[in-house]
Chains A and B, each alone.
Chain A
C-alpha cells in the first residue's frame, strides 16, 4: 500500500513537471548531483590533495556522504549515507567486484591504489543504480587513463614516508601516448608497521604490506572507435586487523577488462561503450601470529566475477539519455577449517559461504530532460533479475540443518525508479527527488554459515528466505555559490522496509568459542535513515580560502531503537593558503559525542574528539623535471581517540609526520 502511494506521488511529481516543460534547448547540459573526489587526475594544484599518497580510504572519507568502518590501519569499509557494503554499490569503472572475506575485511576499495584512479564518483541513493541494485548509493572508482591528450612519454616517481607506523611508499607511473595508441602503467608499494595511537600506545597487529600493479592500454583504430584493455593486480600480505581476532596472510586480486568504445557521428547516440570483465579474489585469514587463540583456524575465501555491460549515452532533442545493460556472474566460496588441540582428531570443516553463484541481469535507463534554461528533470528506472544457487552439496545440506525445506536456487526481481528535479538560477541551485529501490540479501545475509561478528560477538546464520529490502527515498539539496563563497546543504531520507538485521536465537549454541550466541538474519518491519550535510566555502582572498563541513546522521528502527554505525554530529574545517608554487592547509576534524548507540549491535558510547592537522606543498622545477614536495603533520596534538565506526573501539592513529615526493619527467 505504502509503495502504491509512493508511486502515485512519483507520477504526480512527474506529470506536474512535464506540464511545466517548455521549449527544448539541447545546447544545455543537464547537471548531476554526483559528488566527485579528484584522486589522481591531472588537475590544478589547489584541487590536488595535500597528501597525494594517502590511501583511497582517506580520500573517500572527505565526502559528507561517506564514512569508514575501521578494523585497523588497512582496508576500511566505506559506508554511503550510513549504510555499509550490503546496501551500497562500489564499482571500478563500472565493474562489479565482490570481496572474498566473510568478515568484510576486504572491501573493493582495498584492491585498488590511488595511483590507479583518477576520481571517485559518489552518488547518493537510487540514482546510483547504474551498475546494480543499491539502497544507500554508489561509488564508482574511475581508472586513470591518459587518453590521447598529451602525446609522448610521461614518467613519474612517487616516494612517501610516514613516521607513525613507519610507512614507506614507493610508486612509479610510466605513461606513453602515441598516434593511435596509449599505455598507462603504474606500480605502488606500501609497507607499514604497527601504528601508534595517541599517548604513544602501540596498536599491535596493525601492520600491512601491499603491492599494486596496473596497466591500461588503448588502441584507436579509427577516429571514433577505441579498444581498451586494462588490468590491476593487487596483493596485500601480512595485514593486521587489530580490532578482529584474525589477521590476513594474503589478499590478492586480479581485475581485468576489455572495453570497446564507439562515438557515432551525426547520431543521437553520442557514446556507446561495451565492456567485458573478469576478476578473481583470493583472501586468506590467518591467526597463526596471535599469541593465544582458543582454537587455530584457517578461513580462506574466493570470489570470481565475470561481467559485461553495454552503455549508450545519447541526446535526443532535450533528452539526455543513458541505457545500460549489465550482467554479472559471481561465485563466492569461503571455508573454515579448525585444528583441534588433539592432532589425532579429524579436522573440523565447514563452508561459511557454500559456493554461492549469483547471476544478475539488469537494465538501467536514465533520461535527463533539460527544461527551459535552468532546470532539468532526471528519471532513472531499472529492472533486474538476480538468480542465486548454492552449488556445493555439502553447503546446501549444512544450511538445510536450519532450513529443511530450502531450495537449491532462488530467483529475485529487483526494481528501482527515481526522479529528480534540479533548478539552477542566479547562483542558487535547488533540487529534490523521490525514489524507490530494492536490493537482494547479500551472500552472507542469505547463505552465511556461522559467521562470527567480533563486534557483537555473535555467530550469524544466513536466511535464504529473506525478502528483498525495499527503500523509499526522498532527497533535497540547496546551494548558493558566487565566485567568493559557496554554501550547499543536502539531505536524504530513507524509509527501508524489510530491513535486514541479525536477531538472536537463544536456542542456538554458538560455534565460536567464547561467542555470546547465534543471530539469524531476519528483517525488521522498517528502519529509517536520515543524513544531512552542509558544506561551506569562502574565499577570504584569492590566496586564502576557508571551508567547513557539518554532517548529521540519524537512524532508527521501527521500535525507535538506534541503528548501528550512525555517525554522531561530525565536522571539519580547514583554512587553505595557495600561491602558484606553494600551498598550505591547517584543518580541524572532529566528532561530537556518540550518544545514539545501541548495545544490541555491540556499540557503546564513544566520546567526542577533535584532531588538528597541518600540511604544506611546494612544487618547483629541476631542469626538465617537476618536483612536488608535500609534508605535514596529522593529529598534531597526539590525541588519543576512537570514533563511532572504529571496530571494538580501537584507537586511531596518533601524531603522524608525512612526506610525499613526486618527481615527474
Chain B
C-alpha cells in the first residue's frame, strides 16, 4: 500500500516536471523560500530568495541561484561574493554581510546574510552587486533592491564608549514563542564606510521588558556569548506572554567594560540600545 502511494507520487512528479517550462532540479530545492527578485546580466539570471519573499531593514537571510541563459540550467559550481551598497544623497556606504556559501543538501542554492542597517526612502536606495566565477570565468550582475523599514527595531548602529561605531542585528527568534527562545545577534564594527567585520569575544547582555505591563521582566534569560562556529552571539530569551517586548541591550567588550547600554532600574525604564519583538 505504502509503495503504491510512493509510486503515485513519483508518477505525479514526473508529469509535473515534464509539463513545467523549466527544468526543476529537485522538488524540495526551494522549500520554505519565496522569490524576492531576479538580477540579470547578459549570460545569467540570478534569482534571490528569502523566507518571506521580501527584504527589510535589519538582518536578512538570503538564498540565491544562478541560471544560465543559454542552457536554462542552474549553476552548481560557482564561487560567489556580494556587496550591498547604500546610495545616499551625499555619500555611499556598504553594510555588514556574510560570505556566500553553497547551501548544504541542496544542488543549486547558495546562501548568506546581509544586515541592512537603514531602510530605503524616496531619495536613497540600496543596490546589490553579485560577483561570481564559474569555471574560472568571472561575471558580475547588479541591480537595485527594495529594503523597506522594518515594523519593529531589529538593527541598531551606535558609537561605543571606545569611540568606535558598531552595528548590532537581531537574527533569532524569527518566530518568537511564549517560551525560553533561542536568541542570536550579530555584532559588527564599522571600520570604514565599506568594511564591517564581525566583532569577536564581546558579550551582549539582555533584559527583556514589557513597557505595557509596568516594565515586567522575564526570568532565566541567558546573556549572549559568541559561538566559534558561526561567529554569532547566542543566548536564551524568555518571553512569558505574547505582546510587545523591548529587548534592552548592553554591549560589553572582551574586558567586560560596557560600551553602550544601561542597566534597567525603576528609574531607567529602557536602555539606549534595544531590539523590539512583537507577537
Please determine whether B218 and A509 come into contact, CB atoms closer than 8 angstroms. yes
B220 adjacent to chain A (CB < 8 Å): yes
A342: shortest Cβ distance to chain B, in Å? 7
In the docked arrangement, what's the CA distance between A398 and B242, Å?
11
Please determine whether A513 and B213 come into contact, CB atoms closer than 8 angstroms. yes
Task: Give the residue name and chain of the A residue nearest to B241 (CB).
Answer: A350
Q: From residue 211 to 237 of chain B, which have CB atoms closer than 8 A to chain A?
A: 212-214, 216-220
Q: A450: which B residues are within 8 A, CB to CB?
A: 240
Q: A345: which B residues are within 8 A, CB to CB?
A: 212, 243-244, 278
**Chain B contact residue count (CB 8 A cutoff):** 22
Partner of A341, one of B177, B212, B241, B278: B212
Q: From residue 428 to 447 of chain A, which have CB atoms closer than 8 A to chain B?
A: none
With most chain B CB atoms within 10 A of its CB, the pick from A348, A394, A449 is A348
B24 adjacent to chain A (CB < 8 Å): no
A9 adjacent to chain B (CB < 8 Å): no
> Tally of A-B residue pairs with Cβ under 8 A?
79
In the docked arrangement, what's the CA distance between A397 and B214, Å?
23
A402 adjacent to chain B (CB < 8 Å): yes
Please determine whether A348 and B243 come into contact, CB atoms closer than 8 angstroms. yes
A354: shortest Cβ distance to chain B, in Å? 10
Interface class of chain A by DSSP:
loop
Please determine whether A347 and B242 come into contact, CB atoms closer than 8 angstroms. yes
B178 adjacent to chain A (CB < 8 Å): yes
Please determine whether B177 and A394 come into contact, CB atoms closer than 8 angstroms. yes
In the docked arrangement, what's the CA distance between A342 and B178, Å?
21
Q: A342: which B residues are within 8 A, CB to CB?
A: 212
B210 adjacent to chain A (CB < 8 Å): yes
Please determine whether A350 and B180 come into contact, CB atoms closer than 8 angstroms. no
Please determine whether B241 and A401 come into contact, CB atoms closer than 8 angstroms. no
Interface class of chain B by DSSP:
loop
Q: From residue 344 to 380 of chain A, which have CB atoms closer than 8 A to chain B?
A: 345-350
Partner of A349, one of B180, B218, B238, B242: B242
Q: B3: which A residues are within 8 A, CB to CB?
A: none
In the docked arrangement, what's the CA distance between A346 and B220, Å?
23
Please determine whether A397 and B241 come into contact, CB atoms closer than 8 angstroms. no
Q: B180: which A residues are within 8 A, CB to CB?
A: 397, 400-401, 404
Q: From residue 187 to 213 of chain B, which have CB atoms closer than 8 A to chain A?
A: 210, 212-213
Please determine whether A350 and B178 come into contact, CB atoms closer than 8 angstroms. yes
A350-B219 CB under 8 A given contacts A511-B213, A513-B213, A514-B214 = no
B279 adjacent to chain A (CB < 8 Å): yes
A340-B243 CB under 8 A given contacts A295-B213, A401-B238 = yes
Please determine whether A401 and B218 come into contact, CB atoms closer than 8 angstroms. yes
A101: shortest Cβ distance to chain B, in Å? 19
Please determine whether B219 and A402 come into contact, CB atoms closer than 8 angstroms. yes
Please determine whether B214 and A394 come into contact, CB atoms closer than 8 angstroms. no
Please determine whether B179 and A350 come into contact, CB atoms closer than 8 angstroms. no
A314 adjacent to chain B (CB < 8 Å): no
In the docked arrangement, what's the CA distance between A402 and B279, Å?
21
A550 adjacent to chain B (CB < 8 Å): no
Please determine whether A401 and B243 come into contact, CB atoms closer than 8 angstroms. no
B28: shortest Cβ distance to chain A, in Å? 26
Please determine whether A346 and B240 come into contact, CB atoms closer than 8 angstroms. no
A245 adjacent to chain B (CB < 8 Å): no
With most chain B CB atoms within 10 A of its CB, the pick from A341, A394, A398, A513 is A398
Partner of B179, one of A397, A509, A514: A397
Please determine whether B244 and A507 come into contact, CB atoms closer than 8 angstroms. no
A294 adjacent to chain B (CB < 8 Å): yes
A338-B214 CB under 8 A given contacts A345-B244, A346-B243, A401-B220 = no
In the docked arrangement, what's the CA distance between A551 and B4, Å?
78
A350-B242 CB under 8 A given contacts A394-B178, A400-B180 = yes
With most chain B CB atoms within 10 A of its CB, the pick from A398, A449, A450, A509 is A509
Please determine whether B216 and A346 come into contact, CB atoms closer than 8 angstroms. no
A590 adjacent to chain B (CB < 8 Å): no
Please determine whether B278 and A346 come into contact, CB atoms closer than 8 angstroms. yes
A462: shortest Cβ distance to chain B, in Å? 13
A508 adjacent to chain B (CB < 8 Å): yes
Please determine whether A294 and B214 come into contact, CB atoms closer than 8 angstroms. yes
B75: shortest Cβ distance to chain A, in Å? 42
Q: From residue 29 to 45 of chain B, which have CB atoms closer than 8 A to chain A?
A: none
Q: A336: which B residues are within 8 A, CB to CB?
A: 241
Please determine whether A400 and B179 come into contact, CB atoms closer than 8 angstroms. yes
Task: Give the residue name and chain of the B residue nearest to A520 (CB).
Answer: B219
Task: Give the residue name and chain of the B residue nearest to A510 (CB).
Answer: B216
A347-B240 CB under 8 A given contacts A341-B212, A397-B180, A401-B220 = no
Q: From residue 52 to 109 of chain A, which have CB atoms closer than 8 A to chain B?
A: none
A338-B243 CB under 8 A given contacts A397-B177, A398-B178 = yes
In the docked arrangement, what's the CA distance between A320 and B113, Å?
79
Partner of A511, one of B178, B220, B240, B279: B240
Please determine whether B177 and A348 come into contact, CB atoms closer than 8 angstroms. no
In the docked arrangement, what's the CA distance between A341 and B242, Å?
15
Task: Give the residue name and chain of the B residue nearest to A399 (CB).
Answer: B179
Q: When each residue 129-146 of chain B gets 1 if its CB lies under 8 Å from chain A and 0 otherwise, what string results?
A: 000000000000000000
In the docked arrangement, what's the CA distance between A400 and B177, Å?
12
Please determine whether A346 and B279 come into contact, CB atoms closer than 8 angstroms. yes
Task: Give the residue name and chain of the A residue nearest to B218 (CB).
Answer: A401
Q: B220: which A residues are within 8 A, CB to CB?
A: 401-402, 404
A401-B219 CB under 8 A given contacts A347-B242, A394-B178, A450-B240 = yes
B210: shortest Cβ distance to chain A, in Å? 7
A512: shortest Cβ distance to chain B, in Å? 8
- List chain A positions with a Cβ less than 8 A from chain B: 294-295, 336, 338, 340-342, 345-350, 394, 397-398, 400-402, 404, 449-450, 507-511, 513-514
Please list 7 pairs of residues, one from A and one from B, whose beta carbons are closer than 8 Å in the complex, sorted by A's number: A338-B241, A346-B278, A349-B243, A397-B177, A397-B178, A509-B218, A513-B214
Contacts A294-B214, A338-B243, A511-B240 given; 4 further ones with Cβ under 8 A?
A338-B213, A348-B243, A400-B180, A513-B213
